[in-house]
Amino acid sequence: MDLSLTPSQVLIRDSARAFVRRHVPRAELVRQAKDGETWDPVWFAHFREAGWTGALVPTASGGLDLDPLSAVLIFEELGRGAVPSPLIASSVIATGLLRGCEPSEQRDTALTTIADGTMILIPALRKPDTSWKGVAATCTELTERNGTWVLTGSKVFVPFADAATHFLVSVSTPGEAVPALAIVPADTAGIATRPLAGFLQANHEVVFDAVPVRGTGVCYAGDLSFDDSLAVARVVVAAYQVGGMLEMLDMSVNHSNTRVQFGTPIGRFQRVQDHIIRLLNAMDAAKWTTYEAAWAIEAGRDGIARSYLAASTASDSYFEAANAAHEVHAAIGSDPRYGLTLYTRISRTMYELLGPPGWLRRRMADALAW
């Protein structure tokens, strides 16, 4: 057993950490959130130059094809910085879904252009008034009109839809109703995107009104189900959540050491210490289930089951950690200028990003053949 990082993994982590420290000041994130800016194209350009847009894309398609733990380390740092970006949606989730699909020209072209940063492919999966039962259960049925497949319907809670060059839409084919994923250019006539206000980050409703879908733009699941093929994506998303918890822990410890009440730093009070320990335990539970899942995927040791465990733990933990951080900070934490609410909002937005924790745990049990 050796739980340390390799020198190359340390290098990757430090590179991501340096980017966040140099280019993503918290004051700028606070300003962007206040002004309703959802993502920064300049930062995205940096991700492209660093190769992170293709972090999980096979080298044959121009990507880095990083091992899961290396990808985890990059996204942990981005999560620590609360960096808002379509990178997770496109280069992690959409890429994971495409990698699980049967090989095809359109799939490989998409992966290549995701890697080089010219395509931002945003998954549009959830249907309105429908509970989450996996990707295949979210499909919107295509219809056939004059020999062409047509997509009509809406997808909700689509992350960073405003950044999309293309959407990856869960659909089912006319007639046989085979679950599939359609790659649809975002500028196609009949597509309307609407931002959703509230306590969530960069979510949208995307309405497709008689949008033509080419048969060549449709990808089908390979050997694994769509959900199981998202194993790496789940672990990388969990890492982003872990990064957020790490930062909230730092903020809380720092605040407890500098905020003075009753003539002493509040960190001297056991009740405040209790909140910080709650946060710490939530963070470490998520961090180590995430790290182990990344290892398990690479080592071929129940990686899919472990990814479900990591995802459910990280979602529950981020929620709990944010609550604990707010208890440490009291009113100051609820002032958006301070920056804690950036993380709180992400903890809520990502809670069900790849399915609710309860569903993820059921999938874990299935994957372990209990």
Partner 1 sequence: MEFELKYNKAQEQFRDEVRTWLAANVPDGITARPRSFEESYAIYLKRRELGRKLGAKGWLYPSGEKQYGGGGLDLDRIIVLEEETARLGLGLPPYYDSGGKMGSASIRVWGTEDQKQRFLPPIYRGEVRSWQLLTEPSAGSDLAGVKSTAIRDGNVYVVNGQKIYIGSHHGADRYWTILVTDPKGKRHQNVSWFMIDASLPGITTQPLHMLSAQSEGETDEFGHKNIIFFDNVRVPSDCLVGGENNGWKVASTHLEVEHSGQGNIRTNPVWLALLAHCRNQQRDGRPLIEDPDVRAKLAEIFSRLEAVRLLSTRNFWMVYAGEKRSYEGSQVSYLRKTTNLWLTKAVLDLLGPAALTSDPVLGAIGGVAEAQQRRGIVEQHPGGTTDIQRVVIARRLGVGNREPQQAGRLGEEGLARKNPPAAQPVEA
Residue 69 CB coordination number (10 Å):
21
How many chain residues bind partner 1 (CB under 8 A)? Answer: 43
Letter for the amino acid at 15?
S
Among 170, 245, 341, 364, which residue interacts with partner 1 (rule: CB under 8 A)? 341
- CA-CA-CA-CA torsion sign (356, 320, 47, 16): negative
Instruction: Pick the stretch among 1-9, 67-75, 87-95, 324-332 that binds partner 1 (CB under 8 A).
Output: 324-332
Q: 3-state SS string over 212-248?
A: EECHHHEEEECCCCCCHHHHHHHHHHHHHHHHHHHHH
Name residues whose C-beta falls within 8 Å of residue 286's C-beta, 6 or more positions apart in sequence: 238, 241, 242, 245, 310, 313, 314, 317, 318
Least distance from partner 1 to the Cβ atom of residue 65, Å? 32
Q: Of residues 109-148, which lie at the interface with partner 1 (CB under 8 A)?
A: 126, 128-132
Alpha helices (H) in 100-148, listed in sequence order: 105-115
Q: Could you tell me the smallest distance in angstroms from the CB atom of residue 128 to partner 1? A: 7
Q: Helix, strand, or coil here: 370?
A: coil
Site string for partner 1, 186-205 (x = CB under 8 A): ----------xxxxx--x-x
> Which listed residue (106, 116, 323, 366) binds partner 1 by CB under 8 A?
323
Q: In the range 39-78, which residues lie near partner 1 by CB under 8 A?
A: none
255 touches 329 (CB < 8 A): yes
For residues 281 and 287, give the distance between their C-alpha atoms in angstroms, rounded to a whole number.
10
Stretch that binds partner 1, among 1-9, 212-220, 282-290, 356-364 (CB under 8 A): 356-364
Would you tell me the crossing angle of helices 68-80 and 231-258 to the nearest 10 degrees? 40
271, 300, 369, 370: which one binds partner 1 (CB under 8 A)? 271
Least Cα distance to 99 among 215, 217, 229, 293 occurs for 229
**Should residue 319 be labelled a site residue for partner 1 when binding is judged by CB under 8 A?**
yes
- Rounded to whole angstroms, the Cα distance separating 218 from 215 reads 6
- C-alpha 113/C-alpha 56 separation (Å) is 13
Q: Which of 7, 103, 263, 300 binds partner 1 (CB under 8 A)?
A: 263
Task: Return the range that interacts with partner 1 (CB under 8 A); candidates 45-53, 94-102, 169-177, 256-264.
Answer: 256-264
Which lies closer to partner 1 via its Cβ, residue 42 or residue 197?
197
By DSSP bridging, strand 191-195 and strand 203-213 are antiparallel
Site membership for partner 1, residue 27 (CB under 8 A): no
Near partner 1 by CB under 8 A: residue from 97, 272, 279, 304? 272
Closer to partner 1 by Cβ: residue 100 or 339? 339
* Binding of partner 1 by 365 (CB under 8 A): no
Residues that bind partner 1 (CB under 8 A): 126, 128-132, 156-157, 196-200, 203, 205, 260-263, 266, 269, 271-272, 319, 322-323, 326-327, 330-332, 334-336, 341, 344, 348-349, 351-352, 356-358
